[in-house]
Amino acid sequence: MDRTGAAEPFRSAGCPGVGEQMAVISTTDAVKEYTRGGSVLRALDGVSIAVDPGEFVAIVGPSGSGKSTLLNLLGLLDEPTSGTVTVRGTDASTFSDDEKTRVRRETIGFVFQDFYLLPTLTARENVAIPGFLHGNRRETLARAADLLGRVGLGDRLGHTPDELSGGQKQRVAIARSMVNDPAIILADEPTGNLDQETGGQVLDLFGEFTDEDVAVVSVTHDKQVTDYADRVVGIVDGRLDQEGIP
């Protein structure tokens, strides 16, 4: 299951060279500041990173280091104070709100530690929700069923979240992240609530997706994730820091 060593710890953002592929998503000199109580807090301080198709990147660092802030910028859930976020070669600051919504829906899949499944919906319906926004309902439900089968839950299509284990809920969340065939999955502590065996199964699923050129970026404190990743990026005090890699 160890995929370590396939890439350098750091790769800066920028245009691809001859024979290189374009990054799925990148930041260049990204700064993010928040004003709290009259003081300015700099959560990110000039971060440049690029993620290639099919690459699994783990982001590590102490609490408050800027990991989640970076994930939010990559997911277009927040905007940098300065610097740029680029999606498939296009500066995200040029997107309207509607275009950002469309990019999040069609290009980016999200997986969260706490699953965020709707309790009154079945597993299949939870997976299908993102697809309902722009796809045919019958086709979306069929794709949701196919994805649940792929993650080993083909016999749980009609089960609600309270009828599923933690590992099963996370697999539903992963299937949901894939329903719109994204180019990248952003995962926030995807194994944080799972035992080691179940966490390994989740990582194997991510590995299947990266084999199909879907990129995965995971914020994590889990050594199991960093051992599996192609590249580990450390963040300390809002800056990329190789010494911050455990």
Instruction: Report the run of H or E that residue 82 belongs to, with start and end.
Output: strand 82-87
Give pLDDT, residue 246: 56
Dist. CA 73–CA 148, nearest whole Å: 29
Give the residue among 228, 221, 224, 217 at the shortest CA–CA distance from 62. 221
Residue with tokens 């699994």: 56
Give pLDDT, residue 198: 87
Domain ranges of the chain: 25-244
Instruction: Report the run of H or E that residue 239 belongs to, with start and end.
Output: strand 239-240
Give the residue among 186, 240, 171 at the shortest CA–CA distance from 217. 186
pLDDT tens digits for range 153-196: 999 999 999 999 998 999 999 999 999 999 999 999 988 888 88
* CATH homologous superfamily of 25-244: P-loop containing nucleotide triphosphate hydrolases (3.40.50.300)
pLDDT at residue 231 is higher than 50: yes
The residues that bridge with 24 in the sheet, in sequence order, are: none
Give pLDDT, residue 141: 93
Task: Determine the residue type at 220.
Answer: T
Look up the pTM and report it. Answer: 0.86
The model's confidence at residue 5, banded by pLDDT at 50, 70 and 90, is very low
Q: What angle do CA 63, 53, 58 make, to 5 degrees?
A: 20
pLDDT tens digits for range 18-62: 345 789 999 999 999 999 888 999 999 999 999 999 999 999 999
pLDDT at residue 242 is higher than 80: no
| Token duo for residue 192 | 């944080």
Residues 6+ apart with CB under 8 A from 221: 60, 189, 192
Burial letters 154-188, b for 16+ CB under 10 A, else e: eebbebbbeebeebbbbbbbbbbbbbbebbbbbbb
Give the residue among 12, 17, 13, 193 at the shortest CA–CA distance from 87. 13
pLDDT at residue 131 is higher than 90: no
Give the three-state DSSP class for 5: coil
pLDDT tens digits for range 62-107: 988 999 999 999 999 999 999 999 999 999 999 999 999 999 989 9
Give the residue among 204, 210, 243, 209 at the shortest CA–CA distance from 227. 204
